[in-house]
Amino acid sequence: MSCPLCVCFFKCLTLSLSELVDARCVVLMAAADSLYLGFDFSTQQLKVVAIDGNLQVVHQNNVQFDAELPEFRTQGGVHIHADGLTVTSPVLMWVKALDLLLDKLKSAGLDFSRVKALSGCGQQHGSVYWRRGAAETLQELNPQHSLHHLLQSSFSVSDCPVWMDSSSGQQCQYLQSAAGGALRLAEVTGSRAYERFTGNQIAKLQMTQPDQYDNTERISLVSSFAASLFLGDYAAIDYSDGSGMNLLDIRSRNWSEVCLEATAPHLDKLLGPPLPTTSVLGPLSPYFVHRYGFSELCKVVAFTGDNPASLAGMRLQQGDIAVSLGTSDTVFLWIQQPHPALEGHVFCNPVDWQAYMALLCFKNGSLTRERIRNECAGGLWEVFSAALRETPLGNNGNIGFYFDAMEITPTAMGVYRFDPQNNKVPSLSPQAEVRALVEGQFLSKRLHAERLGYSIIPGTRVFATGGASSNPEILQVLSDVFNAPVYTIDLSNSACLGSAYIAVQGLVAESEVSFFDTIKPATKPQQVATPHPSAQEIYDPMVKRYAQLEERVLQESRPLSHSHQSVQPKQPRAS
Ligand code: ADP
Ligand code: XUL
């Protein structure tokens, strides 16, 4: 058996750390014909990036759910149910997307036999329910057939709750009272109870569809579900994505007994033990070896959440802040010690087991930008961008809040526009509306990040990623509002890239080489925007004004936001 990265028969593993790092760079160069894959099972699409042994991107591909799998009738990859709160995605759509993506890679001529390891990530919080007997099916996949065909009957729930769901308010109330209050729950699990968090979704399923729950032999996150497909067996949930469930004790990194107990019966068996993010789960399932020509030595490294994977892909370090502009917008930071609060989340860090990451999630991200683009810019990003170029910083004092769907940070709903005198106005000119939207989104991110303890000091770097980070005018507004330079990596999908890096790291993790040493050869992030000289003068007071207006918005939207959260303190539990 040889070193997983090269052909040195483990000689490099006998070197000192610094020698090893240098040697590894050489080894990686020598093993440039190796490939590592990173998948991202995100909300609207399945994406993949292939990197070579020099950590350079050699191939990217994707499958758009709505356009390429229209038979599942999703919009933006999801089904919004009649109550407006329940949001699900068909599990077989994700399976079929993988069939399609691997066929695309084959047609593109990707040499699967060169892939040494693969990893991936998924939208966070979503859950997949494997029917009794599915493990056997996974272990005996016949390479003559597609995964979609083979796994048709393997799920006890066909429509999986996803992160956009906000229908489990009752279960959240119950969990918080069982855990000793919202803050106590946050201290243990990193977050107060959130409706999209998986434990509350599981509790709702167990209560409303007890037969499906009883028919389930394993519950996966979207990430560990995807890893299970590659592994041909149930894959462990990793610590980082596991932190988005309201079930994991983020300090002991074990399931919290109290939370399990308050959520659903015999849940520990259904979840399996959690593992560190860079763990090698095992060899790739023979299905992929025979159907696509992967090497039987190819390893599957644990999959994680899209935000943790992005942190890895952007090589975020302490002091930096990341802003991801995908279907959801998120803001995250590398933190050393967890200080959970009633707003925001603390997750275990994916690349350093002693560290953590703090995260804020904003539900009204790209889909809201698309709506305003369609209404105010003729459906064209170029026109949207021109509006940002042609309107002044600070938007002549106009401020807007655009919560098309129930917002997560803060809990509010509706559209609110204010003129420079703080009067509510029913509309703005199309160009001012575009700027009000984008400035408002970034003012909110800055305000809530500062409440989380973040402060903008000289030297602060803002890292941008996600689909909208390909838009330079949006990044200029980000730079101005944060009064800091903005950096990007050379592809907008840092989650895929981070997953590919995690695949590389998985192979060396046991030799205690740090993640940052592993990825040294990768291309460095580039600065793409510099704040305007007047940015601080304009946006420091504007953040304060935004905070005051947000209070008003919260007051006004309270009846809307709480109409679905009628509190039922007691919830019957079957045993
Ligand atoms: P996810 O990973 O959540 O599926 P992505 O990070 O791939 O989403 O982002 C997809 C979004 O990127 C689209 O919904 C679209 O609104 C946005 N997007 C793509 N190109 C641009 C652009 N030029 N300007 C602004 N937004 C863009
Ligand atoms: C994070 C969150 C979303 C999803 C989808 O808490 O809910 O960012 O991960 O991308």
Q: What is the pLDDT of residues 149-166, one digit of tens each?
A: 999 999 999 999 999 999
pLDDT grade for 575, boundaries at 50, 70 and 90 = very low
Same fold for the pair 31-302 and 361-487+530-562: yes
Looking at residue 176, its pLDDT comes to 98
Residue 265 vs residue 562, higher pLDDT: 265
- Spacing, Cα 343 to ligand 2 middle (Å): 15
CA distances from 75 to 81, 89, 311, 407, 541 (A): 12, 10, 28, 19, 39
Which of 121, 241, 306 most suits a substitution to test ligand 2, by most atoms within 8 Å of the C-beta?
Answer: 306
Tens digit of pLDDT for each residue in 259-303? 999 999 999 999 999 999 999 999 999 999 999 999 999 999 999
Q: What pLDDT was estimated at residue 270? A: 98
Q: Where in 189-343 does DSSP place strands (E)? A: 216-221, 248-249, 254-255, 280-283, 299-301, 304-305, 321-325, 329-335
> Which residues make Cβ contacts (< 8 Å) with residue 257, sequence separation at least 6?
none
* Residue 206 Cβ < 6 Å to ligand 1: no
Give the ligand 2 atom nearest the CA of 328.
8
Minimum mean pLDDT range among 138-152, 376-390, 479-493 = 479-493
Provide the pLDDT for residue 559.
64
The per-residue pLDDT for 509 is 73
What span, in angstroms and rounded, lies between the C-alpha atoms of 181 and 370?
38
**Residue 373, pLDDT above cutoff 80:** yes
- Cα 337 from Cα 39, distance rounded (Å): 29
Closest Cα to atom 8, ligand 2: which residue?
328
Q: Does residue 344's CB lie within 6 angstroms of at least one atom of ligand 1?
A: no
pLDDT attached to residue 561: 59
Given its phi and psi angles, is residue 227 left (phi above 0), alpha (psi -120 to 50 degrees) or beta? alpha
Percentage, residues of the chain above pLDDT 90: 86
**What is the position in ligand 2's atom list of the atom closest to the CA of 359?**
6
**Residues in the ligand 2 pocket, defined by CB under 6 Å:** 43, 123-125, 163, 196, 244, 305-307, 326-328, 330, 359, 361
Overall pTM > 0.85: yes
| pLDDT tens-digit series, residues 447-467 | 999 998 888 888 889 999 999
Above 90 in pLDDT, residue 32? no
Q: Is the pLDDT of residue 104 over 80?
A: yes
Which atom in ligand 2 lies closest to the alpha carbon of residue 307? Answer: 9
Average pLDDT of span 369-385:
98
Structure confidence at residue 20 (pLDDT): 44
| % of residues, the chain, pLDDT over 70 | 91
Q: How far is the CA of 163 from the centre of ligand 2 (A)?
A: 6
- What band does 515 get if pLDDT is binned at 50, 70 and 90? very high
Q: Are strands 115-122 and 304-305 parallel, antiparallel or unpaired?
A: parallel
* Ligand 2 closest atom vs CA 164: 7
327 lines ligand 1 (CB under 6 A): yes
Residue 369 CA: nearest ligand 1 atom is 16
| 384 alpha carbon, closest ligand | 1
- The pLDDT value recorded for residue 452 is 86
> Mean pLDDT throughout 299-309?
98
pLDDT reading at 569 higher than 70? no
Confidence grade of residue 352 (pLDDT, cut at 50, 70, 90): very high
The CATH architecture to which 31-302 belongs is 2-Layer Sandwich (3.30)
Answer yes or no: is pLDDT of 567 > 90.
no
Mutation choice for ligand 2 from 46, 124, 192, 445, CB with most ligand atoms inside 8 A: 124
- The whole-number pLDDT of residue 560 equals 59
In this structure, the residue with its CA closest to atom 11 of ligand 1 is: 467
Provide mean pLDDT across the span 201-220.
98
305 lines ligand 1 (CB under 6 A): no
What pLDDT score was predicted for residue 457?
85
Q: What is the pLDDT of residue 454?
A: 87
Query: Distance (Å, rounded) from C-alpha 172 to C-alpha 125?
Result: 14
Mean pLDDT rounded to a whole number for the chain? 92
Residue nearest to atom 10 of ligand 1 (CA): 467
> Domains of the chain: which residue ranges?
31-302, 361-487+530-562
pLDDT tens by residue, 402-429: 999 999 999 999 999 999 999 999 999 9
- CATH class of residue range 361-487+530-562: alpha beta
Q: Nearest ligand, CA of residue 332?
A: 2
State residue 23's pLDDT score.
43
Q: How many angstroms separate the CA atoms of 230 and 226, rounded?
A: 7
Per residue in 481-505, pLDDT tens?
999 999 999 787 899 999 999 999 9
